[in-house]
Amino acid sequence: MKAVVVPAPMEFERVFVAEIPDPVPGRGEVVIDVAAVDTNYPDFLVIEGKYQFRPPPPFSPGKAAAGRIAALGAGVGGFAIGDHVAVQVEYGAYAEKLCAPAAQCFPIPDGVDFETAAALGLTYQTAHFALAERARLQAGESVLVLGGSGGIGTAAIQLARAFGASPVIASVRAVEDAAIARAAGADVVIEAGAALAPDDFRDAARAATGGRGVDVVIDPVGGAYGTAALRALAWCGRLVVIGFASGEIPDFRANYLLVKNIAVLGLQWSDYRERAPALVARVQADLFARHLEGQLTPVIDSRLPLEEFKVALRALRDGAVQGKIILTLP
């Protein structure tokens, strides 16, 4: 089979597609003929050895995909050859075939194509857990989503609306990204580019709630605007740290948490995949159901063949993705 192969941690520009042996499922595992791969910001960090988890080399990157089950390992129940499944793994998805634990595979309902199923995976799972599990969002509360035109951003905007948040506020880096955030359902869009200082960003976020402050912040960006978003929180507000796409890890002053009774919460979604697989399966079923009901529609920036994976990784690295980039396989 063809796969993106990382022989050792290195710059992703040096990684290549190669022919490697087909995987064989072990006990409790399945092999999937991959039809669509969901690319994500951590993918190039994993390749370069900069992520918190380092796969044993050689390996293929990629955390989410969708396709058909091609083989079943011993002890696998509930699946059959040919079943359409979405799968979320720690690594290995950039390949024509993927061996994965059956517990990390989720049936794709009728009416959902492979590309959509892949795009409804990792980022939507992350946004769902951030809003519902970590922030404990209540209907009627306000939500501010940083990086509102990216994969997690558009997923979080759509889910916040589906959960009854109001208003839903998004920040974007450039004017061309604002339309993406609005199309995803943002009531207010703040352009947090070079012309808007962090203090002004804080004031703009507070103004969007009539000066009250924001109840929940979803932050996959970090940096100065993550710190500014913390200062825009309302009394008893919650900020959920998801990642640091800006490349900067923010510092939060503990006295500010005390004065306003606010909370900073972290989300490492893969921990739920390992520790609470039944909950993850229920969330994935909910995501598919909400898509079929018209509440969730993944924003797909572009579709590329597997061989053009570097184009996707460059765009992810540079923050130049509006929604998702999907790698397709025949």
Positions of E strands within the chain: 2-5, 16-19, 29-38, 64-72, 84-88, 97-101, 105-107, 143-145, 168-172, 188-191, 214-219, 233-241, 263-266, 300-305, 324-328
Supply the DSSP string of 200-261, one letter for each residue: HHHHHHHHTTTTS-EEEEEESS-HHHHHHHHHTEEEEEEEEE---TTS------HHHHHHHT
Residues 200 and 182 sit within 8 Å (Cβ to Cβ): no
Residues 32 and 76 sit within 8 Å (Cβ to Cβ): no
**pLDDT at res. 246:** 82
CA 320 to chain centre: 15
| Residues comprising the chain, all counted | 330
CB-side exposure of 304: number of CA atoms within 13 Å? 17
Residues 98 and 32 sit within 8 Å (Cβ to Cβ): yes
Q: How far apart are CA 234 and CA 209, in angstroms?
A: 9
Residue 129, classed as helix, strand or coil, is helix
Please name which of 178, 122, 116, 150 lies closest in space to residue 303, comparing C-alpha atoms. Answer: 116
Q: How far apart are CA 312 and CA 324, in angstroms?
A: 9
Domains of the chain: which residue ranges? 2-120+298-328, 123-269
Per-residue pLDDT of the chain (330 residues; tens, 9 = 90+): 999 999 999 999 999 999 999 999 999 999 999 999 999 999 989 999 999 889 999 999 999 999 999 999 999 999 999 999 999 999 999 999 999 999 999 999 999 999 999 999 999 999 999 999 999 999 999 999 999 999 999 999 999 999 999 999 999 988 889 999 999 999 999 988 766 788 888 899 999 999 999 999 999 999 988 999 999 999 999 999 998 888 888 888 888 899 999 999 999 999 999 999 999 999 999 999 999 999 999 999 999 999 999 999 999 998 888 899 999 998
Domain 2-120+298-328 coded CATH 3.90.180.10: yes
- Do 2-120+298-328 and 123-269 have matching folds? yes
Domain 123-269 coded CATH 3.30.70.60: no
Residues of 186-197 as b/e, b for ≥16 C-beta within 10 angstroms? bbbbbbbeeebe
Tell me the pTM.
Answer: 0.94
